[in-house]
Structure formats: structure tokens, C-alpha cells
Copies of this chain bind each other. A is one copy, B any other.
């Protein structure tokens, strides 16, 4: 990241982030508070995510449904913790008719609804209402369903593409006959997400679970994937909830087991959202724009011709035609930009901004020597390669870039990861102006592994002192063995380190 001191302030700032999203045609802030307009390039990336994830979910037995947008308050009311969690951020429909008088418009008070409706902030309430009709016997289980939808959560502090009032969501909902099966399923999905996000989006994530304070409203356990962004703040990337019997109790769902006895089934729910677009931008970009992993890039290769004389056109076009046949055959997503109203330099900047992984530049002279120029966006290196080895080279590069982007993000993640055992240092870390120099004011810090006593009191106090939350209790892995220690705040005994961070 070779930006000079002058641009450092801008780079990674909130304004830089917002500008990049707009300039690269991902999205735009709308007039409606907290809501955005998804623009073509952003939607194309989302569709890549959607198609690939949808395939994986179908393969693991999940069917797509589409449930109503509106949930009656009386249904929403049924699961107490669920409603409590979402009550502060609901869009509530109360009337169904407008009146016009003297060309002025007003709400028709006679059209007031008896049972008001909530725009779904998530679909557990409406889905469990149907599950009640669909589940009778153990033969009906498991039910594995999925939905692609739009939802509204009235955010107090919206953040462009990371935290919006309306966003697009993938939400899975499953029902199982045993507790163990439900837990296993929610963990299976967490692992599916981890694989997808690391291998397709090149975003390294930490697997863990939420503290009781941070878990999903209505869940018994919330498993989560967390990542760290370029500015050192953490982002919740995906969650998978074990719902226990909370919803089957609230919605009175029962099934007849193999012994002819009624039992309550066990539920899970899990999701990812268009927030992932924000994660992509804020994990992989540099001062030239987006850097998209090839597997998700709507355009994997852009071909740009350098025309010095009109005669060049014919020779280059002939060559590009062959190239296109090859790319189509190999299912490579490409664009041939031969627009004449823009200079090659303008185009270079444009596709840099859009994060296109590979740029092929074709000029007559090189062509006659059997060469073309290849530029890779991730490390910005240019190379002349022999045309005869092009196909092999491209296949290699797409894999290599995908991998390299992941490794770069892993490097950033590791750079931002620390263990701290002293509360003074801990507070200093989160409160001081940090040496990375990218923020104006307090440091965003990073991911701090510290001991915690498991109490809500310590969790709240630490948040008060530092603005840092416990983003997750990390899963135990070989490299992350649990050691006993003392809570960084209370000094009480603690069984394992948890991760503190400032987060979006």
C-alpha cells in the first residue's frame, strides 16, 4: 500500500469507502434514510454469490421458498425474546389506503388495520406459523428451507453497505426431530459458509459463537464468522443459530414421533446478506479501487486494444475473435472494451477501480512478435507473455490471484490480531490514536484476544471503557488451545480467551 502521507488520510476513511462504492457502480445512498440503491455491478456480484451459494444449499438438501413480506404483529409477538430484540427497529404498516383532496394526499384514517403488520426484519415468525400446518409426524422431518429476500431493520446508525435499513438476505430455516441433529446442522452450515467465504470471496474468517448478550434474539446459541476489515474494525460475516425449541414452543409446533408420542421439534436459522459486498470492498481494496477475487468477479478478464493506426484495428480484432472463442469455451467471464471515445489510460483506471483481476492489452507491434501484455490487478504487475502459452497462463493466474488475495487479507488479519492481558494496555490500545494513522481520532484497534470471566457485567464495563465488544468466543482449534487465565477486567478465573474488537 504505497500511498504517500498526503493520501493516507483519505485512503480507508469513511469518505474514501463511500466514494469507492459509488464510483465502482456497486451502490448509491438513497434519499430514504438508511436505504440504498444497488447498482448493476453490485447486483452482478451479489448474483454471483447468490448462484454459487444457492447451488451449495440445494446440494445439501435445501429448497427455496418465498414467504410474505408482512408479518402480523400478533404472530411476531409470540416469541418473546425474538420480538424484544427486534422491537426497536421495525417498519410498521398501520393503514392501507390514501385519500386525495384538492390534490393533497393524506392517509385514510378509515383504512386503519385491526392487526398491524411488520415488514420482516427476518422470517422466523412467519415461517414457524406455516411449519405448524406442515409438520405432523416424524416423517415430515427434517424440513430444510431457504429464502432469498429483502428485509427491513430500522438501523439507528446506518453505515453504507455494511449496516443498512433495507438489505438483501439469504435466510435458511430448518426443523429437526432431535436436539443433536439441529445443533449439528447449524454447525454444518457455519462450516459451509466458512468454506464459501474463504474460498470464493477470499475473506479469512474466525469461527466462534456469540456471548449471550450478543446472540440472535430468540436463539439458544448463535454461531458466527467474523472478519477484520482494512481499517481494523471487525465485521460479522455470517451467523448460524441453534433455536432450541423456542419457536416450536411459541408457535405450538408438535410432531408425532416413532413411538406415537407428541414431541416439539428443534430449529435452526442462518443467513448471509448484501453486507458481504461491503466486506469484499473493505477487505480487498487498495488506493486504485476494488480488488475482486476471480471466482466472484463479474468480469474476470478485460481485453483492451491499443490502436495507433486505423490499420491496427483489423489485425487486433481478428486476434481478439480467436481469444473470445477460447474464453467462451473455458467459461471465462470477459469484456472486450474497444470503445473509441475513451483512451486506453482511461480504461485502465476504470477497470482498476472495478477490481477486474486480469487485464490483457493488445497492440499491433507486440502481436506481430507473438506477445501480449498481461496485468494482474492484485499485485499490479505487468508482463509480456507468449500468445501460445496464454491459455495455460490464464488458468494459472486466475487460481494464483484468487489465492494471493486471500493471503494478503490473511496478512492484514494477522497484523491486526494481538493478545493482551493487561487492562491498561487494553484500554490504551482501543482508545489511543493508533500508529496505523488511517483513522481520524480514536484507533479502530483490531482483534484482541483476552481472557473474560463470562459475566455480562464485565462485558458491559469493557464496552463502556473502550467501545470494544466481544465479537466472538472462538472455536477451539489446534492452534488455539484453551488455557486458563484471569479476566482482563475482573481478574476472575477465565477458561479461554475471547475476541474483543470495535465492530460495524
Number of copies of this protein chain within its complex: 2
CB-contacts of A111-130 with B (<8 A): 116-119, 126, 129-130
Q: Does A73 contact B (CB under 8 A)?
A: yes
Residue of A72, A87, A118 contacting most chain B CB atoms (<10 Å):
A87
The chain B residue sitting closest to A37, CB to CB, is B67
* B contact residues around A352 at 8 Å (CB): none
Q: Does A379 contact B (CB under 8 A)?
A: no
Known: A87-B98, A166-B69. A92 touches B63 (CB 8 A): no
* B contact residues around A43 at 8 Å (CB): 64-66
Are B119 and A72 interface neighbours, CB within 8 A?
no
Q: Does A415 contact B (CB under 8 A)?
A: no
Q: Does A83 contact B (CB under 8 A)?
A: yes
Q: How large is the interface on A (under 10, 10 to 19, 20 to 34, 35 or more residues)?
A: 35 or more
CB-contacts of A368-413 with B (<8 A): none
* B contact residues around A84 at 8 Å (CB): 100
Are B116 and A119 interface neighbours, CB within 8 A?
no
The chain B residue sitting closest to A88, CB to CB, is B97
* B contact residues around A65 at 8 Å (CB): 37-40, 43
Known: A77-B105, A87-B99, A98-B83. A93 touches B119 (CB 8 A): yes
A-B contact pairs, 30 of them (CB 8 A): A32-B68, A32-B70, A35-B68, A35-B70, A37-B65, A37-B67, A40-B65, A43-B66, A66-B168, A69-B152, A69-B166, A73-B105, A73-B107, A76-B105, A80-B103, A83-B98, A83-B100, A88-B98, A90-B95, A90-B96, A91-B93, A91-B96, A91-B117, A92-B96, A92-B98, A93-B94, A93-B119, A94-B94, A94-B95, A98-B118
